[in-house]
């Protein structure tokens, strides 16, 4: 898997891609939930993998983007900051997806979580995933932008404050819902 990812980094230039990004995954092959993902041993392994990939990214002059998620070894603001400290490189960027770091219990804290992320390691954030959600049966369910609970106006304002012109990706918004989502964002600018 790492060799394949290294090939993506090597070939990114042929697609005029400035970055190749991924989540960190799970120690379980099917991405299922396991507390093993949160151990220091697994995180240390992740750090070694990221160091290896950053060297390849540097050699090919392309950014390596890493995204956190609740069930991943990179599972929190603290772990993201620790990764940044342990792998200090201009070739390592963070894809910040606040919806990946919330649960049905703490979803009201998404704006504060985003502000904290930008204040702690905003220089490393290279993209914001704007992924809307609903809380259904005690779980976070992804929905197209504008159909859920995300406070996209505040998240975009925080992003503009800390990192003007940061890339924003509308993740979880289907093709048929894309134009209404874009219109929502455009109304903020008027």
Residue 123 lies in a domain: no
- Reported as a pLDDT band with limits 50, 70 and 90, residue 54 is very high
Q: Are 70 and 139 in contact (CB under 8 A)?
A: no
Average pLDDT over residues 15-44: 89
The predicted structure's pLDDT at residue 168: 92
Residue 77 lies in a domain: yes
163 vs 2, 158, 183, CA distance in Å?
A: 30, 8, 22
Q: Can you give the residue range of the structural domain that contains 12?
A: 1-96
For 94-128, write each residue's pLDDT tens digit.
999 999 999 999 999 999 999 999 999 999 999 99
What pTM, to 2 d.p., does this model score?
A: 0.92
Residue 75 lies in a domain: yes
CATH code, domain carrying 7: 3.20.20.150
Residue 171 lies in a domain: no
pLDDT more than 90, % of the chain = 85
143 vs 35, 61, 73, 150, 153, CA distance in Å?
A: 27, 35, 25, 10, 17
Residue 150 lies in a domain: no
| Count of domains forming the chain | 1
């Amino acid at each position: 898997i790492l060799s394949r990812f290294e090939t993506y980094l090597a070939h990114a230039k042929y697609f005029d891609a400035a970055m190749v990004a991924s989540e960190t995954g799970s120690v379980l092959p099917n991405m299922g939930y396991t507390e093993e993902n949160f151990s220091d041993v697994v995180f240390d392994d992740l750090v070694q993998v990221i160091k290896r990939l950053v060297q390849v990214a540097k050699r090919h002059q392309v950014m390596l983007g890493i995204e956190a998620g609740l069930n991943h070894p990179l599972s929190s603001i603290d772990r993201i900051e620790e990764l940044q400290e342990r792998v200090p490189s201009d070739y390592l960027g963070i894809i910040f997806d606040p919806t990946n770091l919330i649960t049905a219990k703490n979803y009201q804290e998404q704006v504060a979580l985003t502000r904290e992320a930008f204040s702690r390691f905003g220089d490393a954030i290279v993209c914001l995933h704007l992924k809307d959600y609903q809380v259904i049966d005690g779980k976070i369910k992804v929905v197209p932008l504008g159909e859920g609970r995300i406070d996209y106006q505040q998240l975009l304002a925080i992003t503009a404050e800390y990192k003007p012109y940061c890339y924003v990706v509308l993740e979880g918004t289907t093709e048929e819902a894309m134009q209404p989502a874009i219109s929502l964002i455009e109304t903020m600018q008027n």
